[in-house]
Amino acid sequence: MNFFAQSAWVNGQWSRDVRLTAGKNGLWTAIAANQTCQPGDTRVGVVLPGLTNAHSHAFQRAMAGLSEQGSQAGDNFWRWRQAMYQVALNISPAQLETVATWLYAELLSQGYTHLCEFHYIHCDPKGNPYADGAEMSWALVRAAQQVGIGLTLLPTLYQHRGFDRQGLQADQRRFAGTHESILAIRDQIQHFAAQEKRPHLLHAGVAIHSLRAVAQAELEALVEASGQHPIHIHVSEQQKEVEDCVAHTGLRPIEWLCEHIGLDHRWNLVHATHTISTELEQAAQAQAAVVICPITEANLGDGIFDLITAIDTKLHCSIGTDSHTNRDWSAELRSLEYSLRLTQQVRNVASREATGYRPTGQALFEMALRGSSSAAGLPLGGIKVGERADFFELDPQANPLAGLTEESFIDALVFSTPSNKPKSVYVAGEIKTTDMPRVTALAVKTMHGLWQGT
């Protein structure tokens, strides 16, 4: 498939009259600027590479906007978690598939072309294993296939309620697993992807819910058997989590991982909100990456990620929408930058020496793009030969972009709101469309039934 783009974001800058060739494997095979359109080329306008949503809990889309009431006792992450457990306890495979299809269609329509699903609901509502241990995982795979978005499934190991608190509490019973059961799900997904000849669209790694939720021996066994697949873990999201880790181990979470497990390019540290600079330096030196979820971290009152140290140490970072109170990548990047402007009381925080003082929106977009491959375990690094042929087409006449030159388009998408949706989205060289009214109607019906059940 050949495309002819008026302009395309290639190697971190705009190029004009770009001829793009996608092979049968869905990867870019040739890219050349200053070309002429050839017969048979598909004409597109101004295009950006698709982004990876590096952290998703699809079932939490069903509670977006429904946990915003405080109480006399106050509200925090741990109280929100109890409400989240009620959804997790009740959602069926069919309901999960419907909600995930809706969510994935929303994400695709915004320019996310791949996502990493951090998935820990494995058992039935009574806490018993399904006949097929991957029952809930298949619901997510089917949702991604229906929409046409790429998926890295991360079956998640979750065993304990906390440090020195063995076993799961009653409302966590659906999360139970062992390193063997997690690896079995991963292997099933990988086998299916190979059989269906979809390895460029469907991939699987593993995840560890958190240090507090997994025994060291099980964590070590899972990591040892992970091969070159991506490994994700929630880490340092809350102050209490860090305090408990120090009390139990004598080390902060990332310090403990570096000393006892060893980080490398497979590791993606989700949140890393409450870190000290030396921890991020250690992660960067190990070629590990961080997944930042700015709007969820704001919504849950987690805190603000140390982006300045991350940029200056050249730490790979990606973004995720996590609990899905937001599904727009531009809002995530804007929230990340604005939170730092408020705390630092300066402007254009991400436009630093380490980013070549490039415009802030471009610096943030490139950061998220650069971390995509680390998070997904697939070649998703942009419009480059050998990367997956994902891109979305902008509408230069839309209000945020009208009257601007291309050089300002990414900054306007991030900082001039409301951002406009792409005119078209392509995954692995194929245009993707969704019947959103039908998908939304099914999801609404499912949500009504789900909330009646809770």
Active site residues: 271, 322
Supply φ then ψ for residue 76, to 5 degrees. Answer: -155, -175
3-state secondary structure the chain: CEEEEEEEEECCEEEEEEEEEECCCCEEEEEECCCCCCCCCEEEEEEEECEEEEEECHHHHHHCCCCCCCCCCCCCHHHHHHHHHHHHHHCCHHHHHHHHHHHHHHHHHHCEEEEEEEECCCECCCCCECCCCCHHHHHHHHHHHHHCCEEEEEEEECCCCECCECCCCHHHHHHCCCHHHHHHHHHHHHHHHHHCCCCCCEEECEEECCHHHCCHHHHHHHHHCCCCCCEEEEECCCHHHHHHHHHHHCCCHHHHHHHHHCCCCCEEEEECCCCCHHHHHHHHHCCCEEEECHHHHHHCCCCCCCHHHHHHCCCEEEECCECCCCCCHHHHHHHHHHHHHHHHCCCCCCCCHHHCCCCHHHHHHHHHHHCHHHHHCCCCCCCCCCCECCEEEECCCCCCCCCCCHHHHHHHHHHCCCCCCCCEEEECCEECCCCHHHHHHHHHHHHHHHHHHC
Given a contact cutoff of 8 angstroms between Cβ atoms, the answer to whether 212 and 244 are in contact is yes
